[in-house]
Amino acid sequence: MRFARILSFLLFLTLFSGQSHAEAPKFVEARLFSPVTATGKADVVNLALELKLQPKWDTYWRTPGDAGLPPDLDFKGSENLKGFNLQYPVPHRLTVSGLDNNVYVDQVTFPLAVTLETPGAPLNVKLKLSLLVCNEICVPEKHELTFTLPAGEAMPSTDAALYDAALEKLPRTVMEGHSFTSSRLETGADQKTVLVIEAQMAGEPSPEADLFVEHESGTAFGKPAITFDAGSGKTVFRIEPHTSETPEKLAKDLGSSEITLTFVDKGIGFEGKMQLNAAPDTAPKPMSAPAKLKEKITSLDIGILLGALLGGLILNLMPCVLPVLSLKVLSVVSHGGKDSRGKIFKNFMASALGVLVSFWIMAGALVAAKAAGSTIGWGIQFQHPGFLIFLIAVLLLFAVNMWGLFEIPLPRFIAKHATAKHENEPTLTGHFLTGAFAALLATPCTAPFLGTAVGFALSRGAYEIFLIFTFLGLGLALPYIALAVSPRVFKLMPKPGKWMITLRKVLAVILLATAVWLGSVLFRVSAEPALDAGWQQFDAALIAPAVNEGKTVMVDVTADWCLTCKANKKFVLEQDDVKAALNAPNILLLQADYTQQDDVTAQYLGTFGRYGIPFNVVYGPAAPEGIVLPELLTKKAVVDALNAAAGE
């Protein structure tokens, strides 16, 4: 169809080349309108571009498909217009002779958010609109439109209902029960490559359901084959790229980069972005275990593995792991420089192994939960009272042991390894348990690089989850490993003495304080969620209308067990200058409390490819899809995002 349409377009130009005196017929009626009667006081006003096409004619979506051109808007000559954002309703797939175009037929209305240079002043719009419209032939059309919105109070206009109806046809970025979970390329024995998208759906897609794929390379994708598992809600889309490239060349073109997915069913759209694992999985071939391991590792982005390693290392500096530092400190000073190198090596490698085993257990639990269709994410075990009670008990055990008291009878196995062989020396198993405990306490924190690595892992299969969690564990264990292989530092440590009794009691108080904090988290897990002052309860349905009204929206996903969230709040969000920016009159603050299990919040995080918190994103007229902030907030990052989203 692409070549047929282009050929028809050339023939059309030939037919009219000798008739320049005659005006070409128009197949589209175009007009601008506004849902309000005046500009009001906001920085952004809402307009809309309405197109009415003659029967059997169509025009194109922002990503046309195998042929076509998207609408082109030129606002030169407009007055008081600083910028604009055109929003696209869900498209319709038109397939002819195996080629696919993404089009609009009959009528379409594009919501248009216009940023004003001078809020409150009149707006005079001059629009030069270029369209490609097609039937059996394709015809370029140009329309020159004008529209004036006077100054004054912004009251609903006679077109307000039409504008609201247009908003309903925009794809939603959050929809209850819907989330995209993974994407990959697969190449079969026939050397045909398909894009495989996995998703969770609230119900079975109808026969008319479709999935539109967009990638910066411009690669066109065909209509998906859809399978649905009613038990788990898992939906799989298998989509053939329209290209003659080899699987290797296609993987290189697509790269490990972001794709935009728009699911449409019965006119309702759901849109999300995710990282594409573009290294194609080929048909299985017999190979040795080492060869399989090498193939799997090389298929992963090495940057992701390095990010996981660095993220795990940085976790050692996060507040979640600080209570375990008391155990580390006591373990280090207890050597006093007297132990043999072999003994030091074994003790610290035991701690490193404890970290790794703990991460492997977490990976296994996440793989099992994912296979069962449950919500998965980094740190979600802190949403379960049983896990919190276990941690509190372990902390109390360590604290009482360090205080030198054991009034509570302990099981023989625990007493054997939690107590020392002599006054200051933990057993080898004790070192192992210390490492495992450090890993468990690390999970409420999200460090830089860690969020990307965990999101990549949890959107993929069991092998990727285990491999990336291994690198996370290695990162957290690196200090232990470094001390094990280079123990010269112990020669500088003070000799054991009575001063250690005081140190043990001080460190025991730190562990007790951590147990008290976990007790408060346990209480909150069983209580009603509470919001911080000035924040409203998160509801994704509030975001788009607020942005269309010219407002800036900040979403904060937090939890009582997330110490990084607490640090962000204390050192950034509650600072006077940031607080003043957040409390501006044109800003909506939405907060999602993830202390308890919440599938809606989990699905919202999944639309951004995130599986852990803290998570903050800022929406606005200049950023309707959101600006995602780093895990560790800074004042500059928050204020810059607010300004950028507002178009300032």
CB contact at 8 A, 130 and 1:
no
Categorize the per-residue pLDDT at 235 as very low, low, confident or very high, splitting at 50, 70 and 90: very high
**Same domain for 515 and 545?**
no
Structure tokens at 342: 């072999």
- Which residues fall within 8 angstroms of residue 58, CB to CB, at 6 or more apart? 92, 94, 101, 103, 104, 105, 133, 134, 135
CATH number at residue 608: 3.40.30.10
Categorize the per-residue pLDDT at 641 as very low, low, confident or very high, splitting at 50, 70 and 90: very high
Q: Based on C-alpha coordinates, what's the Rg of the chain?
A: 30
CATH number at residue 251: 2.60.40
pLDDT at 124: 96
Is residue 433's pLDDT more than 80? Answer: no
Q: Is residue 118 part of a domain?
A: yes
Which 8-state DSSP code applies to residue 149? E
| Cα angle value 56/212/113 (rounded, 5°) | 80
**Same domain for 519 and 541?**
no
Between 191 and 615, residue with greater pLDDT: 615
The domain total for the chain is 4
CA atoms of 637 and 624, how far apart (whole Å): 18
Between 50 and 248, residue with greater pLDDT: 50
User: Model confidence over 306-351: pLDDT tens digits?
Assistant: 777 887 787 776 655 656 655 555 555 555 545 556 777 787 788 8
The boundaries of the domain holding residue 371 are 300-525
pLDDT at 40: 93
pLDDT at 282: 45
Between 448 and 429, residue with greater pLDDT: 429
pLDDT at 96: 73
CATH number at residue 31: 2.60.40.1250
Q: Is residue 355 part of a domain?
A: yes
Q: Is residue 295 part of a domain?
A: no
Structure tokens at 366: 């996440």
Burial class (CB in 10 A: 0-12, 13-18, 19+), 462: middle
**Same domain for 156 and 261?**
no
Final residue of a domain: which of 165, 194, 210?
165
Is residue 252's pLDDT more than 80? Answer: no
CA atoms of 546 and 551, how far apart (whole Å): 5
The whole-model pTM stands at 0.51
**Same domain for 311 and 258?**
no
279 half-sphere exposure, CB direction, 13 A CA radius: 10
633 three-state secondary structure? coil
Query: What share of the chain has pLDDT > 90, as a percent?
Result: 31
**Same domain for 521 and 448?**
yes
pLDDT at 358: 84
**Same domain for 582 and 477?**
no
Reduced 3-state DSSP string for 381-439: HHHCHHHHHHHHHHHHHHHHHHHCCCCCCCCHHHHHHHCCCECCECCHHHHHHHHHHHH
* E strands present in 266-415: 268-275, 277-282
**Buried (b) or exposed (e) across 599-632, using 16+ Cβ within 10 A?**
eebbbbbbbbbbbbbbbbbbbbbbbbebbbbebb
User: Model confidence over 101-141: pLDDT tens digits?
Assistant: 999 999 999 999 999 999 999 999 999 999 999 887 888 99
Categorize the per-residue pLDDT at 460 as very low, low, confident or very high, splitting at 50, 70 and 90: low
Q: Is residue 294 part of a domain?
A: no
Q: Is residue 289 part of a domain?
A: no
Structure tokens at 619: 């929406």
CA atoms of 425 and 47, how far apart (whole Å): 73
E strand or H helix at 196, and its extent? Answer: strand 193-200
Final residue of a domain: which of 131, 165, 199?
165
Q: Is the dihedral of CA 619, 635, 524, 399 positive or negative?
A: positive
pLDDT at 378: 58
311 three-state secondary structure? helix
Residue among 467, 459, 469 nearest 602 (CA) = 459
Categorize the per-residue pLDDT at 404 as very low, low, confident or very high, splitting at 50, 70 and 90: low
pLDDT at 2: 43
Residue position matching structure tokens 């119900």: 203
> Can you spell out the DSSP letters for 32-77?
EE-SBSS-TT-SEEEEEEEEEEPTT-EEEEEEEESS----EEE-TT
Structure tokens at 17: 């080349």
**Same domain for 266 and 350?**
no
Final residue of a domain: which of 498, 525, 552?
525
pLDDT at 465: 78
pLDDT at 312: 76
CA atoms of 246 and 249, how far apart (whole Å): 5
Query: What share of the chain has pLDDT > 70, as a percent?
Result: 72
Q: Is residue 542 part of a domain?
A: yes
Structure tokens at 30: 């175009």
526 three-state secondary structure? coil
pLDDT at 142: 93
Q: Is residue 315 part of a domain?
A: yes
Between 328 and 92, residue with greater pLDDT: 92
pLDDT at 515: 77
**Same domain for 329 and 382?**
yes
pLDDT at 511: 72
Reduced 3-state DSSP string for 551-586: CEEEEEEECCCCHHHHHHHHHHHCCHHHHHHHCCCC
pLDDT at 510: 72
* Per-range mean pLDDT, top range of 173-177, 369-373, 399-403: 173-177
Is residue 253's pLDDT more than 60? Answer: yes
E strand or H helix at 545, and its extent? Answer: helix 543-548
pLDDT at 498: 65
User: Model confidence over 16-39: pLDDT tens digits?
Assistant: 333 333 455 789 999 999 999 999
Burial class (CB in 10 A: 0-12, 13-18, 19+), 218: exposed
Categorize the per-residue pLDDT at 647 as very low, low, confident or very high, splitting at 50, 70 and 90: confident
pLDDT at 487: 61
Which 8-state DSSP code applies to residue 489? G
Categorize the per-residue pLDDT at 12 as very low, low, confident or very high, splitting at 50, 70 and 90: very low
Structure tokens at 73: 């808007």
Is residue 259's pLDDT more than 80? Answer: yes
Residue among 182, 185, 469 nearest 299 (CA) = 185
Task: Tell me the CA end-to-end span of the chain in Å, nearest whole number.
Answer: 43
| Residue 405 backbone phi and psi in degrees, to 5 | -120, 140
Categorize the per-residue pLDDT at 173 as very low, low, confident or very high, splitting at 50, 70 and 90: confident
pLDDT at 7: 42
CA atoms of 73 and 8, how far apart (whole Å): 25
Is residue 369's pLDDT more than 70? Answer: no
> Can you spell out the DSSP letters for 155-192?
-B-TTHHHHHHHHHTSPBS-BTTBEEEEEEEEE-TT--
**Same domain for 329 and 431?**
yes
User: Model confidence over 556-585: pLDDT tens digits?
Assistant: 998 877 777 888 898 999 999 999 999 998
pLDDT at 201: 85
Categorize the per-residue pLDDT at 496 as very low, low, confident or very high, splitting at 50, 70 and 90: low
What is the side-by-side strand order in the sheet with 225-229?
225-229, 234-239, 193-200, 179-187, 277-282
- Return the number of other C-beta atoms located less than 10 Å from residue 489's C-beta: 13
Categorize the per-residue pLDDT at 150 as very low, low, confident or very high, splitting at 50, 70 and 90: very high
Taking each helix axis as running N to C, give the angle between helix 322-335 and helix 428-442, from 0 to 180 degrees, rounded to the nearest 10. Answer: 160
Once rounded to an integer, what is the mean pLDDT over residues 255-260?
A: 77
- On average, the pLDDT of the chain sits at 78
**Same domain for 337 and 273?**
no
**Same domain for 348 and 430?**
yes
User: Model confidence over 37-90: pLDDT tens digits?
Assistant: 999 998 999 999 999 999 989 999 999 988 888 999 999 999 999 999 999 999
* Per-range mean pLDDT, top range of 64-68, 71-75, 449-453, 625-629: 71-75
**Same domain for 61 and 83?**
yes
CA atoms of 263 and 292, how far apart (whole Å): 35
Residue among 256, 264, 245 nearest 215 (CA) = 256
| Residue 81 backbone phi and psi in degrees, to 5 | -115, 115
User: Model confidence over 192-229: pLDDT tens digits?
Assistant: 788 999 998 888 899 999 999 998 888 889 899 999 88
Phi-psi region of 550 (alpha: psi -120 to 50; beta: other; left: phi over 0): left
CB contact at 8 A, 36 and 45:
yes
